[in-house]
Amino acid sequence: MDFAALAVLVETASAGSLAGAARRLRLSPMNATRLLAGLEKELGVRLVHRTTRSLSLTDDGLSFLPHAETLLEERAAALASVRGRQDGASGLLRLSASLAFGRQVVAPLAAEFMATHPRVTIDLQLSDSLVDIVAEGLDLAIRIAPLDDSSLIAQRLADNPRRLVAAPAYLDRHGAPATLAELAGHQCLTVSAAPHWSFRVGGAIRRVKVAGRFSANSIDAIHEACRGGLGIANLSDWNLRDDVARGLLRPVPLADAEPEPLAIWAVYPTRRLVPAKVRLFIEALARRLKAEAAAG
């Protein structure tokens, strides 16, 4: 039985469309259609209902799907058993991350990962917007945010503590807020679409609307504006460590509140058939984050 055709069926069921399956598998829509049609001919049954607007599995397709998944998983396990854990990583790894985290953490790790796994190539897409990894045909996304409910698989990699910081020039001119209430009287540098910051106050989480003369749709832009003395920013520790050590930014602690920490997540389309390149990259990133947290 053609494993490529089985993969088209499994990914079609997961993505909800043949076009989505083709993007995930990096096939042309015509080739994906041909493979699925060949599988239906071999089995002698129709596996999917196709119209111009929708696609769904037939009863025969639903019955056959778990067997197709099992066949693919057993094939992957068999290949891994003879190639070895490290040598199993190969092919194009397409992943996304935010601009700042991708530039500072993911891109350097990618260089090391490709040196360790010479049969892997990487396409890293950086964006501070939420990327639809299924529609874009991505293998993996690294996200630092509360996760909405979805059909995607999310693996927590590390904590992501945050701090309020400002440049010495700003603090010399305006002073530092001592409490959460005093923060309202300061210039706060916010993401354009998120004018609220969340704080831990006692045992509760409190969302506070903040404002300032500068906002941006990029954490990198907010970071630069903060260095330039335009106001107070709420940034992740990994993004601040060097600037605080060099005295370019100073922490702004509040007596009655602290920024709510987030988490760093690896998000991928399905728990089944996770390629070695994805699994090993996630493991490498988790080790890197653990080492940096221990060092910082």
Do residues 22 and 32 lie in contact, with contact meaning Cβ atoms separated by under 8 Å?
Answer: yes
The dihedral through the CA atoms of 245, 199, 171, 144 has a sign that is positive
DSSP letter for 259, please. Answer: E
- Over residues 2-51, the pLDDT tens digits come to 999 999 998 888 878 888 888 888 889 899 999 999 999 999 999 998 77
Q: What is the full DSSP assignment across 193-231?
A: TB-EEEEEETTEEEEEE---S-EES-HHHHHHHHHTTS-
Q: CB–CB of 101/141 below 8 Å?
A: no
Q: What percent of the chain is modeled with pLDDT above 90?
A: 63
Please write the tens of the pLDDT for every residue from 161-205: 999 999 999 999 999 999 999 999 999 999 987 889 999 998 899
In this predicted structure, the answer to whether residue 243 has a pLDDT above a threshold of 80 is yes
SS3 per residue for 110-126: HHHHHHHCCCEEEEEEE
What local confidence, expressed as pLDDT, does residue 84 receive? 53
pLDDT at 146: 76
Cβ distance 224 to 145 under 8 Å?
A: no
Place of tokens 């190639």: 83
| pLDDT at 104 exceeding the cut of 80 | yes
- Please check whether residue 10 is in contact with residue 70, taking contact to mean a CB–CB distance below 8 angstroms: no
Of 82-91, 206-215, 266-275, which has the strongest mean pLDDT?
Answer: 206-215
CA distance 67 to 81: 21
Give the Cα separation of 265 and 279 in Å (integer).
13
Over range 215-221, report the average pLDDT: 92
Angle of the 276-295 helix axis to the 107-116 helix axis, nearest 10: 120
Q: Quote the CA–CA distance of 149 and 138 in Å, as a whole number.
A: 19
**At residue 57, does pLDDT exceed 80?**
yes
Other CB atoms closer than 10 Å to residue 187's CB: what's the count? 19
The whole-number pLDDT of residue 151 equals 64
87 has pLDDT over 70: no
The region of weakest confidence among 23-37, 86-100, 111-125 is 86-100
> Residue 142: exposed, middle, or buried by beta-carbon count in 10 A (0-12, 13-18, 19+)?
buried
| Mean pLDDT across the chain | 89
Q: Please, which pLDDT band fits residue 95 given cuts at 50, 70 and 90? A: very high
Nearest 5 degrees, angle CA 157-CA 260-CA 243? 80
Residue 80 has pLDDT above 70, yes or no: no
pLDDT band at 81 (very low <50, low <70, confident <90, very high): low
